[in-house]
Amino acid sequence: MTPGVVLSMLYCGAAFGGSFLFMRVAAPDLPPPVVAFLRIGIAALALLLVSRGPALRALRQDWRKFAFLGVFMTGGPFLLFAAAEQTITAGLGAVLNATTPMWTVLIVFFWLKQPLTAARVAAIVIGFAGVGVIVGTEGLRIGPDAWVGVALATLAASLYGIGLTFARRNLSGHEPLELAFGQLAAGAVLLAPFALLTSGSAHPTPASAAAIFGIAIVSTAIAWPLLFSLNRQVGPLATSTIPFLNPIFGVLWGALFLHEAVTPSLLGGGLLVFIALALILDVRPRRAVPAPPA
């Protein structure tokens, strides 16, 4: 694992964790479908300005595959999580989002025939426990009518695992920027009708507008190409551990910008999360390999 991979994973974790901060600012003024649509729509336009011709050619060439990603990587999960949050707490939503690696373990095992090692199983269990510690017991106290939300959020997490695995297997010939643009554009088309139907209840303010641009550029236009680059370098299983980092950074940004307390659960859970990452990514000191004789 190179330093570039480590930095990319940390940025993705920080950016995706920051998306919770942005959504919290925008939520009082904009309905979830509108937030999700503007997020991926603006991000898609930003990537189009950067890539232009290559991105459009890639989308035309493999539009069916990108439509699949639009369902399983952006539009579908964003909409499912928005619906789930109507009946479950944000903490429980974070826990369920972090089950993505657990689903990916099963997906790559059955789909790509990747070995299911004891270390990976242990890493998933430890990582899930770490996220559970971070969100605390309050997020696990659900109401009697919350099981539909739990099912929707769990389904959304499994969609991410399917999307990551599908992209690595079927779209590995495209550049990360093209992959990000294609699935964002497809997701925007998917969410457009839902955003239109709920736009009547939107009341944007300068703060919510700034939050939308933050989540679109920082958490999507920059982070998604990095995500696909990581997916190519280290595979879908390792890439799917990034949701473990999201609650850590989400709490951190909340403490810095919303003056939320940093609890012992963040420290203890964060330690478990990084242990899980080390197990999955096989982070170990390695002896230097001597150069071959001249």
Q: What is the pLDDT along the chain (294 residues), one digit of tens a residue?
A: 678 888 888 999 899 888 878 888 888 888 889 989 999 999 999 999 987 788 888 888 889 999 999 999 999 888 888 777 777 766 667 777 777 877 887 888 888 777 878 888 888 888 888 777 776 654 555 556 677 877 888 898 889 889 878 877 787 777 888 888 998 999 999 999 999 999 999 999 999 999 999 989 999 999 988 887 887 788 766 776 777 787 788 778 878 887 766 677 767 877 888 788 778 766 554 443 333 333
Tens digit of each residue's pLDDT (9 = 90 or more) over 219-244:
999 998 888 788 778 876 677 677 77
Does 293 fall in a domain?
Answer: no
What was the pLDDT predicted at 74? 92
* Enclosing domain of residue 216: 3-281
Does 286 fall in a domain?
Answer: no
φ, ψ of residue 222 to 5 degrees: the values are -90, -45
Domain count, the chain: 1
What was the pLDDT predicted at 283? 53
Does 292 fall in a domain?
Answer: no
Does 224 fall in a domain?
Answer: yes
Does 289 fall in a domain?
Answer: no
pTM for the predicted model, two decimal places = 0.78
What was the pLDDT predicted at 160? 87
Q: Over the range 48-80, which residues count as b (16 or more CB within 10 Å of their CB) and which as e? A: beebeeebeebbeebeebbbbbbbbbbbbbbbb
What was the pLDDT predicted at 227? 82
Does 141 fall in a domain?
Answer: yes
Tokens of 27: 């939520």
Cβ atoms of 94 and 131 closer than 8 Å:
yes
Q: How far apart are CA 80 and CA 157, in angstroms?
A: 9
Does 104 fall in a domain?
Answer: yes
Task: Name the CA dihedral angle for 247, 253, 258, 263, rounded to a multiple of 10 degrees.
Answer: 50
